Amino acid sequence: MPDTVPQPELHSIPRFAVVGRVNKGKSSILATLVEEADNEHIRISSIPGETTRCYSIPLKLAGETLIEFIDTPGFSRARQTLQWLKDHHPSDGSEARIDTVRRFVREFRDEPDFMDECLLLEPVLDGAGIVYVVDSSKPFRPDFGAEMEILRWTGRPRMAVLNNISETTDFGEEWRERLGETFNLTREFNAHQARFKERIRLLRHLLEIDDRGREQIERTIWLLEADWVDRRGRAADIIMDLLSSCLRKKTCRTVSSGDLDRDYQRKRIEQDLKERYKKDIQQLELDHHKRMGRLYRHEKLQVTEALDDSALVIGEDLFAEETWKVLGLNRNQLAMASAIAGGGAGLAIDAATGGLTGGAATVLGAGVGYLAAHFKGRALAEIKISNPLSPTGHIPAGGVQLCAGPPSNLNFPWILLDRILFHYHHLIVRAHGRRDDFVIDFSHLGEGEKRLGYAVKFSSERRRVLQTWLAAQAKGKSVDEDSKVFGELEETLNEIEEQELLLPGE
Ligand SMILES: Nc1nc2c(ncn2[C@@H]2O[C@H](COP(=O)(O)OP(=O)(O)OP(=O)(O)O)[C@@H](O)[C@H]2O)c(=O)[nH]1
Ligand SMILES: [Mg+2]
């Protein structure tokens, strides 16, 4: 990437018409390419003929249109159209083929039978480049040849895109041979699978076929890549916010002496507080999903644990036993991480006492941290209840505040982090052209004691940096290590994107 932001070109915005047979994923490809998940803007349907006129689909960043795509209705009568062109093209070469196509459009513009062909050809005749979409999970048939031939008659720069819709069969090779006769370039792009890198790759291919828009397309790629890095940074920020809020969160209630007279009353109040605390944390997690959804242009994805339309389904909720068994650090890692963090606290005592303790505080800090974590490693999501009562059990006239949270198990933030990273992974691989339910299912993560999230795979240095910061958050302290934690999280997100940090089955 160049260091400086390329400046806008003076000449016009490159235009590309996305054309092809009905129901081959033209609209889906565009939605994925420009990150448009909303069916109101780009209509996608399994019923053929969903797109009935041409729609301008701008690729925009910060309000600026960088490249304009045009979604078109599919070819419906290509063979008859080609026949007309052949019949009416003067054999003496006195008319360019594109002019015969122009005559066709003029003549049939208002004829219902050829409406689709006229509509899709208009932007091409106006100068747009062509992206021709085929479904390579189905075999080539000769009637596709007519569509390809009509596009060739326009003489516009053109590339073919293989969108393998069913993903069960692949006739890509056969298609490539046929398409190679008519198109400058044939490339794969799956409307449901493509990620950021594939989107950029497709834009680079446009450069190969259409030199006219070169500088603007290069500039677009540069801006999109910079924006993607920027988003990753903002995602790391949002994740730090959530971790910090969850670790500091306490759900409190003022109780008076009458409320605590009997043991069962106290238990009920504590139970109620714990339930409210869990709900509060779950709400923070849901708000987090929404923020991340907005960042990655998936704001319409419903975040709910219910199985309804377009739901984000979480197999197990944050406080479920299964979640606590499979996510987070294993006992040794947790013990080591907190020993180091405890050791860090000890070091601080050493420094404060001018080293007079001769390193004893370090050893003590590390030991306490290690043991506490080791024993709590077994426990599940047991939520702490603060006990503000005096040793005599005296309750002042104004009452006392009972507070629930956080869980005593030191694995809490690590389990939370694993869920956040898991959600991040699903969000960034979610193609915007998909209109099916957004399902995040933790249940396949495994059984038993084996921990299968991301955190167990972190380097011990990463665990150390995070644990030190997490421990400080839990104590409500601010730490100087913010930028280190931010760096580690940003790098973690990058590794997930690059598939260097994988989940089982990936
Ligand atoms: N599994 C899968 N389904 C796809 C893919 N691309 C498109 N589809 C589905 O195929 C159907 C047609 O997709 P559209 O994007 O509406 O196709 P189109 O070519 O714009 O269709 P018309 O506007 O009717 O000409 C929809 O149900 C899509 O969800 C893909 O890559 N994988
Ligand atoms: Mg369509």
Q: Structure pTM?
A: 0.87
* Arithmetic mean of pLDDT, 144-160: 96
321 versus 33: the higher-pLDDT residue is 33
pLDDT at 137 (0 to 100): 97
pLDDT at 33 (0 to 100): 97
Of 18, 22, 23, 71, the one to substitute when testing ligand 1's pocket (max ligand atoms within 8 A of C-beta) is: 23
Domain span(s) for CATH 3.40.50.300 in the chain: 15-209
* Arithmetic mean of pLDDT, 332-360: 52
346 versus 504: the higher-pLDDT residue is 504
pLDDT at 38 (0 to 100): 85
Of 165, 190, 438, the one to substitute when testing ligand 1's pocket (max ligand atoms within 8 A of C-beta) is: 165
For residue 99, give the H/E element and its range: helix 97-108
pLDDT at 119 (0 to 100): 96
pLDDT in tens, 224-267: 999 999 999 999 999 999 999 999 999 999 888 777 777 788 88
- The protein residue whose alpha carbon is closest to atom 3 in ligand 1 is 165
The separation between CA 27 and the C-alpha centre of its own chain, rounded to angstroms, equals: 20
pLDDT in tens, 412-422: 999 999 989 98
Count the Cβ atoms, other than its own, within 10 Å of residue 335: 22
pLDDT in tens, 53-64: 999 999 999 999
Six-digit token string for 125: 């005749």
For the chain, percent of residues with pLDDT exceeding 70:
83
Q: In the structure, which protein residues have their CB atom closer than 6 angstroms to any atom of ligand 1?
A: 22-28, 44-46, 48-51, 73-74, 163, 165, 190-192, 435
pLDDT band at 453 (very low <50, low <70, confident <90, very high): confident
Q: CATH homologous superfamily of domain 15-209?
A: P-loop containing nucleotide triphosphate hydrolases (3.40.50.300)
pLDDT at 22 (0 to 100): 92
- The protein residue whose alpha carbon is closest to atom 6 in ligand 1 is 25
| pLDDT above 50 (res 292) | yes
- Residue 51 Cα: closest atom of ligand 1: 23
pLDDT at 413 (0 to 100): 94
- Residue 74 Cα: closest atom of ligand 1: 25
pLDDT band at 504 (very low <50, low <70, confident <90, very high): low
| 94-108, 134-148, 174-188, 426-440, range with the lowest pLDDT | 426-440
pLDDT in tens, 476-503: 887 777 899 999 999 999 999 998 887 6
> Under a CB-based contact definition with an 8 Å cutoff, are residues 496 and 424 in contact?
yes
Query: What is Dmax (Cα atoms) for the chain?
Result: 110
Measured distance CA(39)–CA(35) in Å, rounded:
12
Count the Cβ atoms, other than its own, within 10 Å of residue 346: 23
| pLDDT above 70 (res 162) | yes
| DSSP code per residue over 190-214 | -TTT--HHHHHHHHHHHHHH-GGGH
For the chain, percent of residues with pLDDT exceeding 90:
59
471 vs 337, 373, 412, CA distance in Å?
A: 10, 12, 11
Measured distance CA(159)–CA(183) in Å, rounded:
6
pLDDT at 346 (0 to 100): 37
pLDDT in tens, 427-442: 999 999 998 877 766 5
pLDDT at 49 (0 to 100): 87
Q: What mean pLDDT, rounded, does the chain reach? A: 84
pLDDT band at 349 (very low <50, low <70, confident <90, very high): very low
pLDDT in tens, 356-393: 333 343 434 444 444 454 444 445 667 888 877 666 76
Note every long-range contact of 420-425, with CB atoms under 8 Å and residues 24 or more positions apart, other chains counting.
Answer: 420/239, 420/242, 420/243, 420/288, 421/453, 421/454, 421/455, 421/492, 421/493, 421/496, 422/327, 422/453, 422/454, 422/503, 423/289, 423/292, 424/235, 424/239, 424/292, 424/493, 424/496, 425/496, 425/503
| 157-166, 384-393, 459-468, range with the lowest pLDDT | 384-393
pLDDT band at 116 (very low <50, low <70, confident <90, very high): very high
pLDDT at 501 (0 to 100): 80
Ligand 2 centroid vs 42 CA: distance in angstroms?
A: 8
| pLDDT above 80 (res 128) | yes
pLDDT at 257 (0 to 100): 76
| pLDDT above 80 (res 342) | no
pLDDT at 506 (0 to 100): 62
Ligand 1 centroid vs 50 CA: distance in angstroms?
A: 10
pLDDT at 356 (0 to 100): 36
